[in-house]
Each structure stands twice: as C-alpha cells, then as structure tokens.
Structure 1
Amino acid sequence: MNEFKQILGLDPDKLAADADRLFARMRDLRAEEVTVEVESPDRRVTVRYSGLSGVQGLDLDPRALRMSAAELAETILSLIHRARDEAEARQRESAAAVLDAGNALIAERQDIADRLRQAGGTLQENLRDAAELIARLHGSMRR
C-alpha cells in the first residue's frame, strides 16, 4: 500500500473510505422521500407528488367538477408536471449538497484521474523496458 501511495501520491485507504461514504450517501439519497404538494391558482385542484413513486394524491374541490373535462384534465396534468419538476429539483439540490460535501472522489476527481493516467503511462514504460531487457538477456543466453 505504501508503494501505491508513493507512486501515485494518493492514499488508497482514504480513497476507499471516500468511496464507501459516497456509496452510502447515494443509497441514502435513493431512499430519501421527497414529496411536493402543488395547488392550482384558484385552489380547486391539489396534487401531491413523491419523487420515488409519483402521484400520491389528487384533491378536487367540488368547484373543480364544474370545469370542462378538457380544462380539468389540463389543470391536473399541469400540476403533476409542476410537482414532478419541483420534486426533481429538490432531489438534485439534496444530491449536490450530499455528494459535494468533502469527498475526495468528487472534489479531487480530476487530480486523481491525472495521477492515475500518469502512473499508468509510467507502468507501461517500465513494462516495455522490462520486456526489452528480458529479450536481450534471453538473446545473450542463447549465444
């Protein structure tokens, strides 16, 4: 492990711990219930929407039943779309707050990727050099 840390300049134990925290946070986010309630401007129609399971409730004031079928359908669909958009926005905000909170995998991802690419290139060069040396030694032994 210390060799890995020296070569890459990264602590593999810290990266593993960060990965564990990241995946635990992601599981928590998936389980988090975001529920939104939106209401028509005239307060005749209310929609409750869950980010996990969609429409949870639809309340119609008796006055809403006096609306034409097309107008009522349009109002309901509009409220469902608005509620869904609000729920998704809240989920994105929550995810951004959780995932960006001090996790090296997120905060330092470009640096980590650059170091891994550099180490990979160095490893390939060393393997090529080793293969050439083995081929020369093998040729010397045949003589």
Structure 2
Amino acid sequence: MLTILVHRIPKFTQTVFTFETKFSNWINGSLIGSLSLSDENSSLASCGSVQFNIVPGSNYLPVAIDGTTGILKVIESDYETMKNNHTITFQVTVRNANTSLNISDDAKVNILIGENNSDEETGSEIAAVKR
C-alpha cells in the first residue's frame, strides 16, 4: 500500500495588502491589520498550522507580525524615526508549518501613514511634538 502525503500550500487572499492609518494612531502595540488566507486549500483545517514571516532583508521595520495569526502591530512609534516614513513596504510569506518542505506563498504589504490627525473638513492638522 502506497501512502502519498499531500501538503497544502497556504495562499494569501491577495498579492498586495494595503493598510491605512493616521500618525496619531501609530503607537506601540496598536493593531495595523491582519493578513488573510484564502479558504481554497489553505485554511487551517486543510493546512494545519501556518507560519507567517516578514521576508529577511527588509530594512528595519517598525512593524512586527504574529507568526501564527498574520496580525501586524506597531513596535516602534518614535516620532523621529517615523516622521519621514509615510509609506512602509515589505514582503511577507506564509508557509505550511507542518512540513519541512519550502512550500509557501508571498505577498507585498503597504502601510500608508497619513499626517492629518483631524476628521474635520477644515484641513486643520495637529502637529506631533517630541517631548
């Protein structure tokens, strides 16, 4: 009797994820967003556990990813570090954690940080001041 193991490849729902936030919301530990997987052949039921990673080689990122859930959070909210970074772009991967085979999917993440901290239509902005 021959047994063939088929390892499912987790798949992202899209090839580019874009999240928008305001600078006033950019504080340590705050949620940015979550990377979702498609249901077809890549759910936790068919893949078992998955592992999300930020692709090595990305420059320093003020962002961390939860390796099992794909949730992105802020880990660096220093004003001096962030004041010139209004767009953060990096690559992520997801793989089936139940196999040593390198079967994975990848996607690009764009985080757009807006300066306008006011919801009013007057265009007034609140300036961030470093203590």
TM-score by length of 1: 0.29
Name the structure where strand makes up a greater proportion of residues: 2
Given the two structures, how large is their TM-score scaled by the length of structure 2? 0.31
- Name whichever structure is richer in helix by fraction: 1
Greater relative contact order structure (CA < 8 Å, 6+ sep): 2
Pair member with larger Rg = 1
